[in-house]
Amino acid sequence: MVIADPQIAKMVEGIRKAVHPDRIILFGSRARGEGVPGSDVDLLVVARSSEARWKRTVPLYELLAGMGVAKDIIWWTPEEIEEWRGVRSHFINRVLSEGQVVYERPA
């Protein structure tokens, strides 16, 4: 997938190299085409991990520090997504239905 925004493309490439995710999904205002200058970048990283969910993203924030853009990075395992997918009001369903897959590991 070609990513038009060079900052998002750089973030996705850095995450891809660092954690070898299954998928990276852009969500929020930028995914809906409603982003304005200064809008944050919301990314869901889907990758395997044995770390606690809150610990996983720390290295990604460190990796992407200094890029000059606010960001919210969420890292969930495929199993966590499946666990919450059936809960109607859970935010993960909105991310999966409205988000844009900006990276998917080749099969």
Question: Domain spans of the chain?
Answer: 4-102
pLDDT band of residue 88 (cuts 50, 70, 90) is: confident
pLDDT of 2 over the 70 cut:
no
Q: Which one, of 76, 69, 33, 31, lies nearest residue 51 by Cα? A: 76
Q: Which one, of 25, 69, 67, 31, lies nearest residue 43 by Cα? A: 25
Q: Can you give the pLDDT at residue 81?
A: 94
* Dist. CA 7–CA 68, nearest whole Å: 9
When mean pLDDT is compared across 12-16, 36-40, 67-71, the lowest value belongs to 36-40
Q: Above pLDDT 90, what percent of the chain?
A: 68
> What's the CATH class of domain 4-102?
alpha beta
